[in-house]
Amino acid sequence: MHNHGITSSADSIGSPNDLARRSNAPLPTSELISNAAEHPTANRHASPSAIDADWNEPQPFYGTDEPVPYPIDALPNTIRAAVEEVHGFVQAPIELIALSAVGALALAGQAQVDVKRAEGLSGPTGLFLLGIAESGERKSTCDRLFTGAIEAWQKEQLIAAELELEKYRGEKDVWEAERKGLQQAIQHAAKNGRDSQEHRKKLEELHRQEPKRPHTPRILLADETPENLAYRLAHDFPYGGVISAEGGLVLGAQAMKSESIMRHLSVLNILWDGGSFSVGRKTSDNFEVGQARLTVSLQLQGTTLRAFQKTNGELARGIGFLARFLVCHPFSTQGSRMFVDPPAEWTKLNAFNSRITEILALPLPLDEDGLLRLIQSSFDEDAKAS
pLDDT per residue of the chain (386 residues) written in tens, 0 to 9:
444 433 333 343 344 444 444 444 444 444 444 444 444 444 444 455 544 556 567 666 555 567 788 899 999 999 999 999 999 988 989 999 999 999 999 999 999 999 998 888 899 999 999 998 888 788 889 999 999 999 999 999 999 888 888 999 999 999 999 999 999 999 988 888 888 889 899 999 999 999 888 888 999 987 777 788 888 999 889 999 998 877 766 676 555 565 678 888 888 999 999 998 888 775 677 888 989 999 999 888 888 888 888 888 788 888 888 899 999 988 878 878 788 888 889 999 999 999 999 999 999 998 888 889 999 999 888 887 77
Q: What are phi and psi of 35, to 5 degrees?
A: -60, -40
Q: Which amino acid is at 199?
A: H
How many CB atoms are located within 10 Å of the residue 43 CB?
Answer: 16
d(CA 354, CA 260): 40
Q: What is the CB-side half-sphere exposure of residue 188 using CA atoms within 13 A?
A: 7
103 close to 243: Cβ distance less than 8 angstroms: yes
Give the rounded distance of the alpha carbon of 380 from its chain centre.
26
- The domain locations on the chain are 1-68, 73-153+217-385, 160-208
Question: Helices marked H in the chain — which ranges?
Answer: 16-23, 29-38, 77-90, 94-109, 139-146, 148-191, 197-208, 226-231, 248-251, 261-273, 302-318, 347-361, 381-385
* 133 neighbors 332 (Cβ within 8 angstroms): yes
Torsion of CA 29, 33, 34, 35, to 10 degrees: 100
Handedness of CA 107, 112, 117, 123 (dihedral sign): positive
Yes or no: say if 381 and 119 are a contact pair by the CB < 8 Å rule.
no
With 0.75 as the threshold, say if the pTM is over it: no
Q: What distance in Å separates the CA atoms of residue 371 and residue 276, rounded to the nearest whole number?
A: 11
pLDDT the model gives residue 34 = 45
The enclosing H or E element of 129 equals: strand 128-132
73-153+217-385 CATH choice from 3.40.50, 2.60.40, 3.30.70, 1.20.120:
3.40.50
293-300 sheet: strands from edge to edge: 220-221, 239-244, 293-300, 128-132, 325-328
In this prediction, residue 110 carries a pLDDT of 97
Rounded Cα–Cα distance for residues 115 and 376 (Å) = 5
Residue 4: other Cβ atoms inside 10 A: 9
Q: What is the pLDDT of residue 28?
A: 47
Give the C-alpha separation, 31 to 20, whole Å.
10
Q: How many CB atoms lie within 10 A of CB 49?
A: 11
CB 110 within 8 A of CB 360: no
Separation CA 38–CA 11 (nearest Å): 14
pLDDT value for 14:
44
pLDDT of residue 308: 84
Residues in the chain: 386
Are 221 and 147 in contact by the 8 Å Cβ rule? The answer is no
Report the 10 Å Cβ neighbour count for 182.
21
